[in-house]
């Protein structure tokens, strides 16, 4: 299965291993060999809800580590840039500055932020970006 996804997604991806349906195990000690072999794995039961909060927190950490929060002021092509931001990211805040120009706070996957800059970089100003970014 992993090889098929690697082919479809153009290379290997990070994975989170989850053992679900643990409520169906007749004996929880059966989990011990699996967890020794896969100590990073999570165990859940969608039926009982066991482990789901841990899974949710792990997914949130995973996604937050792969996104950047930026603030942009749009100079030109506001419609195209705004469309890009809503399509490729999550617009957290949309406002106007004192001159009436659109100011956005957007959470992007890192690659989408770089794409925005390469396509629309001359039409917007990066007001803030993550530390270590060449645009900070």
Q: Say what the pLDDT of residue 1 is.
A: 56
Q: Say what the pLDDT of residue 2 is.
A: 60
Report if residue 121 sits inside a domain: yes
Q: Spell 65-94 as b/e; 16+ CB within 10 A means b.
A: eebbbbbbebeeeeeebbebbeeebeeeee
- Helix boundaries (H) for the chain: 2-8, 31-37, 52-64, 78-88, 110-120
Specify whether 73 is located in the same domain as 44.
no
Report if residue 134 sits inside a domain: no
Report if residue 44 sits inside a domain: yes
Average pLDDT of span 20-27: 92
Q: How many domains would you assign to the chain?
A: 2
List the one residue out of 131, 134, 132, 83 whose CA is nearest residue 106. Answer: 83
Is-above-0.75 flag for pTM?
no
Range of the domain at 105: 67-128
Q: Say what the pLDDT of residue 79 is.
A: 83
């Amino acid at each position: 299965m992993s090889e098929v996804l690697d082919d479809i997604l153009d290379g290997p991806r990070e994975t989170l291993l989850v053992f679900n349906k643990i409520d169906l195990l007749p004996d929880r000690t059966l989990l011990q060999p699996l967890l020794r072999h896969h100590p990073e794995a999570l165990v859940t039961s969608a039926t009982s809800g066991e482990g789901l909060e841990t899974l949710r927190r792990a997914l949130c950490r995973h996604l937050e580590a792969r996104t950047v929060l930026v603030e942009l002021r749009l100079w030109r092509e506001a419609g195209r840039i705004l469309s890009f931001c809503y399509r490729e990211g999550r617009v957290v805040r949309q406002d106007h500055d004192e001159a009436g120009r659109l100011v956005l706070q957007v959470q992007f996957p890192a690659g989408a932020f770089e794409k925005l800059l390469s396509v629309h970089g001359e039409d917007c100003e990066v007001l803030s970006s993550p530390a270590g970014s060449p645009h900070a």
